[in-house]
Each structure stands twice: as structure tokens, then as C-alpha cells.
Amino acid sequence: MPKTGTTCLQKALFNNRDKFLENGYLYPKSDIKNNAKEIVNRYCHNTLAHCLMGLEDKDNTLSMSIWEELKTEIDSINPRNVIISAEAFTSFKIFYQLETLAKIKNLLKEYEIKVVIYLRKQDEFLESSYCYMVKLGACSVGIQELFNKYQYIFNYYQMLENWANIFGYDNMIVRCFAKSNTKDHIFADFLRVINQFNNKSDYKVDYNAKINVSPSGKMIKILLLINNLNETILAKFIKLDYSYWSKYQEFLSFLSNNKTICKLVSRLPKFLIDDVLLLPKEKEDIMKKFKELNSQIAYKYLGQKNGVLFGDYS
């Protein structure tokens, strides 16, 4: 899923393609947009998901042929294994429908499929997703309103059941992502999943690199105010075409990444603006809402007899 260290994982997979191939794993490049404006789209296969959504790029050239290109690359190289990574498969409502998942399976019917999915505590996932959407200019509402609108994404149990119904329970590999777990990097964990951990030294990875980091809570609140201004005032007078949104996102990116601006924002007094996006009680309520469903995941998919998926519900 998004916000589980996917960009770090995908960059490591992309930069080590040759070594992975030597070890029997192809990380396809035919559908990767390495020059994508957003870093989250540079090293992954989200284009495969976008095709199924009927999306087109600005040149109207995006089509289902990308799936054929993928299979052509796989068949021409004929590796023992293939790794496809795309958090977009869990980002949009269409992928919470069985018919869409069945279409994915049919497109890859020539191959044996294993589904590896990383889950993050719902409260942490909400905060991180909210920061990303605000920073992208795609959100101008409060965090609770966003949660209420997209609750289906936070019901991990139902999502896993959907995928398992199509691909089979035995083919589901569920992992828990914890940002606080500094002992292990998602890339190292993924190497365990694909039985490559003993070859860890083969791969060149900067384990200390930080990619796609969320701005502070204060900065997010500043950006939210700007998004509201843009939506309520500017939108009435300006034609919001592709070029406008592109420039607007560049503006938001500049604000959130400029060290001087971030430093000034961090010095704003708490009585004016604080870093808190979710109060402790709100986090607790969210985790309680999904406690039973998370327990079912722990039992069914991870074999954990204590029924605890993430450990801390406070």
C-alpha cells in the first residue's frame, strides 16, 4: 500500500535491476516512467494500474498496450521470477472491486502470481496519506473528513479478502510496515520475502536515505490554507487546466521543501498553529474501529495466535 516505504523499495529494486536479474528476478522497465515529475512514480509500475482505470497521459497515448509490452519484456528475457511493484493497485476505489482484480489475474494468466502487500497502522497511514495529498494540492478538507470519505481503504481485512478471493489465500504474503522499526529497512524485509536476504550484500542501497518525506504538521496546515484559498477564490477566476495544476503543484513543492521557509514555519508559536494532525484520542478511536478486523488479519494471514496485528492501539 502507499506510505509504507514503497518509493525507497522501488528505487532500490530499479537501481539494482542487473544484479536482481543475475539472481533470477526481473524488475521490468518497459512500463516505468523514470522521468516522471513525481518521485513516487519514477521507479514503479503504477502505469499498469492507470491503464485499468482508463486514464490517459497528456498526449493521450496511454493504453492497454503497456500490459502487452510488459509481457513481451518478460517473455523475451524469460527470467525465473518477476517483481511488479505498484501501490496504485490499492490507491483507487476501482481496485476494491472483484471484477477489476479478476481482470488483473486474467492479464497475467500465463504466470503464477504471489501477492505481497505491506500494511501500516491505520492512524499512521491516515496522517501520512493526508500530508501527501495536501502537499500535492489534492486535498482542501480536514483529516477526519478525508478519513470518512475513504474509509474503505482503511479496512485492510476486506481488501485482503478481495485479493485472496481472486488470487488464492495461499498466494497472499502480508507484511506489517512500522516506521518506528529502525532495525530493518523495507528493502531488507522484502529480500526475506523473496528468499534473497542471504544475497543482501549483492545490492547497493543507501539505507539512510530519506525519500518522499512528509512536511511537518505546521507546514501541512499552511499548505491546507493555501489549497482552500486556491479552491474557493482562484478557481472562480482562473481556468484550472493541466498547466495551471502543474505549476501550482510546483509551488506547493517549493514551499514544503525550501529549508528557509520550513524553518520559519517551525518557529511559529503553538498558540497560532501546532504540529498535531490527529489528537491521541482520535488515533485511539481509529485503531479501536479496526481492532477486530485487524485481529482477523493477524489470525488468518499471519498465523498470530494472539490476534495482534500492529501491537500498539494507543
pLDDT in tens, 83-129: 999 999 999 999 999 999 999 999 999 999 999 999 999 999 999 99
Contact 1, 49 (CB under 8 A): no
The reported pLDDT for the residue numbered 107 is: 94
Q: Position 40: which residue type?
A: V
Amino acid at 98: L
Is 90 exceeded by the pLDDT of residue 273?
Answer: yes
Stronger pLDDT, 312 or 136, i.e. the higher one? 136
Q: What is the pTM of this model?
A: 0.89
The pLDDT of residue 182: 45
Span 24-44, mean pLDDT? 79
* pLDDT at residue 110, rounded to an integer: 93
- The per-residue pLDDT for 230 is 85
Tens digit of each residue's pLDDT (9 = 90 or more) over 209-241: 777 778 899 999 999 999 998 877 766 666 667
Which pLDDT belongs to residue 42? 81
| CA angle (215, 55, 82) in 5-degree steps | 80
State the residue for C-alpha cell 518506528. 180
State the amino acid at position 186 in one-letter form: I
- What span, in angstroms and rounded, lies between the C-alpha atoms of 214 and 225? 17
Find all residues with CB under 8 Å of 223, minimum gap 6, and list them.
Answer: 134, 135, 215, 252, 255, 256
Higher per-residue pLDDT: 37 or 107? 107
**pLDDT tens sequence across 165-212:** 999 999 999 999 976 554 568 999 999 999 999 999 999 988 777 777
Which of these, 271, 305, 310, 272, lies nearest to 288 by C-alpha position?
310
pLDDT score at 237: 66
Percent of the chain's residues with pLDDT above 70:
90
Residue 314 has pLDDT above 50, yes or no: no
Band of pLDDT at residue 33, cut at 50, 70 and 90: confident
| CA nearest neighbour of 156 among 174, 169, 170 | 174
Cα–Cα distance for residue pair 239/218, rounded to 1 Å: 30
Q: What is the Cβ-side half-sphere exposure of residue 29, based on CA atoms within 13 angstroms?
A: 12
Nearest 5°: CA angle at 150, between 285 and 311?
Answer: 40
CB 113 within 8 A of CB 167: yes
Place of cell 513543492: 253
